């Protein structure tokens, strides 16, 4: 295995991504090292948001990667591969698992997992990558300010062993990472697009302060989201340029 070659468990950390970043400044960790914590005092989500998780209830971990063969222009494939690995695990347990572009994992219209990819670039090359992952496993109550959370237990009614879940997830992630490094990247793109949340359906979105109705059609060559509008025009959106309206 690459991912899961070394797993470090902690009772509490500020953030697994923050800790992994600090480690990389002083230590050359083996590729695929996993930093896992039962609790985060300042968990990090996308767009500077905080990731909430009840102590010991969910999976909170970061993976250290050195994807030197992935060019800067293709770095979004890392996000795709990680998203697919988590989806592979969840699809064996839950129905209607989708990927909300770029890398949130949904079950129907509720968020069950989030991913935060932080790349360190030097000389035009990705020197290291920290893939932070949070998956709601056993938590049943969330803060009112969180819009649409869900967990495996809320859907199945069953408690799951987080350590067993982690082992299974790491196997799926390892397979997807090897596919990224040595396999068919076109297949990664095709499978990712096939799981896109809201793809092929008309829904409201917001961009540049304006609300419009659109249909997600796919992903561009640069990883942008392609949305068809009601006037039959197509627009491409980079991360943070478009909001989903629920």
Has residue 3 got a pLDDT over 80?
Answer: yes
pLDDT value at 48 more than 70 = no
For range 39-56, the mean pLDDT: 72
User: DSSP string of 55-106?
Assistant: TTTSEEEEEEE--TTS-GGGTHHHHHHHHHHHHHHHHTT-SSEEEETTTEEE
CB 41 within 8 A of CB 13: yes
- CA proximity to 244, closest of 220, 195, 211: 211
Residue 81: the pLDDT is: 98
Sequence-separated (6 or more) residues with CB below 8 Å from residue 60: 16, 36, 37, 38, 39, 40, 43, 51, 53, 133, 134
**Amino acid 197: pLDDT:** 98
- The answer on pLDDT for 226 being more than 70 is yes
Q: How many degrees, rounded to 5, is the angle at CA 178 between CA 5 and CA 200?
A: 125
Residue 45 predicted with pLDDT over 90: no
What would the mean pLDDT of 14-24 be, rounded to a whole number? Answer: 95
**Residue 107: pLDDT above 90?**
yes
Q: What is the pLDDT of residue 145?
A: 83
pLDDT of residue 144: 87
Q: b vs e for 154-169, b when ≥16 Cβ sit within 10 Å of the residue's Cβ?
A: bbeeeeeebeebbeeb
DSSP string, the chain: --TTSEEEEES-BS-HHHHHHHHHHH--PPTTEEEEES-BSS-B-GGGPBPP--TTTSEEEEEEE--TTS-GGGTHHHHHHHHHHHHHHHHTT-SSEEEETTTEEEETTEEEEEEEEEEEEETTEEEEEEEEEEE-SS-----TTSSSB--HHHHH-----HHHHHHHHHHHHHHHHHHHHHS-HHHHHHHHHHTBTTBTSEEEEEETTEEEEEEEEEE-TTSPEEEEETTS-EEEE-TTS-EE--
């Amino acid at each position: 295995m690459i991912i899961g070659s070394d797993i470090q468990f902690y009772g509490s950390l500020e953030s697994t991504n923050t800790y992994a970043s600090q480690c990389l400044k002083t230590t050359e960790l083996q590729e695929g090292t996993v930093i896992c914590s039962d609790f985060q005092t300042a968990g990090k989500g996308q767009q500077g948001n905080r990731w909430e998780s009840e102590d010991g209830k969910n999976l909170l971990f970061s993976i250290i990667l050195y994807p030197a063969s992935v060019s800067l222009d293709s770095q979004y494939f890392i996000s795709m591969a990680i998203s697919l690995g988590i989806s592979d695990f969840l699809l064996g347990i839950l129905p209607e698992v989708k990927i909300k572009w770029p890398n949130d994992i949904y079950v129907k219209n509720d968020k069950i997992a989030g991913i935060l990819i932080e790349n360190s670039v030097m000389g035009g090359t990705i020197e290291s990558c920290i893939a932070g992952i949070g998956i709601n496993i056993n938590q049943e109550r969330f803060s009112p300010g969180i819009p649409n959370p869900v967990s495996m237990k809320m859907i199945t009614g069953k408690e799951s062993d987080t350590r067993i879940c982690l082992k299974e997830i790491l196997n799926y992630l390892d397979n997807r990472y090897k596919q990224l490094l040595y396999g068919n990247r076109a297949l990664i793109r095709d499978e990712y697009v096939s799981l896109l949340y809201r793809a092929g359906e008309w829904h409201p979105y917001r961009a540049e302060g304006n609300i419009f109705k659109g249909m997600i059609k796919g992903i561009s060559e640069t990883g942008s989201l392609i949305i068809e509008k009601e006037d039959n025009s197509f627009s491409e959106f980079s991360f943070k340029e478009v909001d989903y309206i629920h």
